[in-house]
Amino acid sequence: MTGPLFDITVAVARIAVFFAFCFGLVVVMTWVERKGAAYIQDRRGPNRADIFGIRAWGLFHPLADALKFLFKEDFIPDNAHRLFYQMAPMFSLAPAILGIAVIPFGPDVTVMGRTVALQIADLNVGILYLFAVSGMTVYGVVLGGWASGSKYPLLGGLRSSAQMLSYEVSMGLSLIGIFMVFESVRMSQIVAGQGGLLFGVVPKWGVLVQPLGFILFLVAQYAEANRTPFDMPESESELVAGYHTEYASFKFSMFMMAEYLHMVVGAAVVATLFFGGWQFPYLGDAGFLFPGGFAVAMPPALVLLLRIGAFVAKVLFFAWLYVWVRWTVPRFRYDQVMRLGWKVMLPLSLLNIFVTGLTLLLLKK
């Protein structure tokens, strides 16, 4: 294939595969969420939907859900502002998927003599792009809450705008430490930086060099994704269903998909920044190399598979962590959420920057 054609093919293929990965995981996660809830809270999860009598642990439930959403009446309340009401789910869904564009799924591979990065776009601004995209997610929630023309959604929308703005601050600041340690905001360089060893023994993963930064980022991300314990915008017991109370049919399912996409993309971001991305512990380009000098040679194809597999496994784990936390921790009160954001997370993230800077300065001397 010639140059431009090859480039276009690669670009389209990457986008198709990575988007398919995300949306596929979204479908699986809706099932995992309910199964996880059932296991954690000792009740029965989805177990009824079947095809020709095959139940497969309720795996067909996402399919049944999708069909149900498609065939429900697409209802618009009288009080709603029609145009904005219809735009809100799109505003919610689009930014949720965009974040995946800067996540590296694996190391560079050579295809037909050309180097291809397993990443849609290795932007110079890297994580700043992620912040820009996640800053957009608030519009779907706010617009949906306001355009529904009803009290509970409006309250949910107001809460979410305040909450997301507050937690974006500590989310940004909690990552400064990572930038300082790995000396880059470019995703590929941060992952490459995590390939080394710390003290020659353990992998130099972000979570080991930035433990406080990791906790702060994880908490801020849960708040950004509006997941329990931070699901203020929808909190059923207070606001019925918050910003999407008035939504039904496929519009509602778009809000749902956006939430699960947040989980999947968020899990990918955590895995990339703090858990080495596609780095497999002690796995070099030529095979395993353990600290004692013990080495196992391996063919490049196997190394590549192991690395992509490591990334996918990490993403799956952190997606599961979202479910785990949701069904374990009760919801905060709204004032508690705000206090945690401004009076605990923000000072701690500033402290993290200060300590990281000091440590790096002392180590350099």
Partner 1 sequence: METVLFILFGAIAVCGAIMVVTRKHPMASALYLILTLFAVAALFVLRQAHFLAAIQVIIYAGAVVVLFIFVIMLINVPEDRLPVERATTMRVLGVLAAGFFILESAVLARRFWMPIGPVAEVGTVEAVGRALFTDYLLAFEITSVLLLAAVIGAIALAKRKI
> Which residues would be at the binding site for partner 1 (CB under 8 A)?
81, 84, 87, 123-126, 128-129, 131-132, 135-136, 138-139, 142-143, 145-147, 154, 157-158, 161-162, 164-165, 168, 185
* Residue type, position 99, single letter: G
3-state secondary structure of 49: coil
Would you say 32 or 265 has its CB closer to partner 1? Answer: 265
| DSSP per-residue codes, 343-356 | IIIHHHHHHHHHHH
Nearest distance from residue 122's CB to partner 1, in Å?
A: 12
CA distances to 135, 146, 208, 362 from 357, in Å? 27, 43, 16, 9
Between CA 257 and CA 245 the distance in angstroms is 16
Nearest distance from residue 136's CB to partner 1, in Å?
A: 6
Would you say 154 or 256 has its CB closer to partner 1? Answer: 154
Nearest distance from residue 134's CB to partner 1, in Å?
A: 8
Sign of the C-alpha dihedral computed for residues 353, 356, 362 and 365 taken in this order: negative
Would you say 46 or 172 has its CB closer to partner 1? Answer: 172
Nearest distance from residue 10's CB to partner 1, in Å?
A: 18
Would you say 49 or 162 has its CB closer to partner 1? Answer: 162
The four Cα atoms 64, 70, 75, 76 give a dihedral, to 10 degrees, of 120
Would you say 135 or 287 has its CB closer to partner 1? Answer: 135
Does residue 229 have a cis peptide bond before it, meaning omega lies within 30 degrees of 0?
yes
Between CA 350 and CA 175 the distance in angstroms is 10
Nearest distance from residue 111's CB to partner 1, in Å?
A: 25
Would you say 121 or 304 has its CB closer to partner 1? Answer: 121
Nearest distance from residue 244's CB to partner 1, in Å?
A: 16
Note the Cα 101 to chain centre separation in Å: 12
Sign of the C-alpha dihedral computed for residues 21, 134, 36 and 61 taken in this order: negative
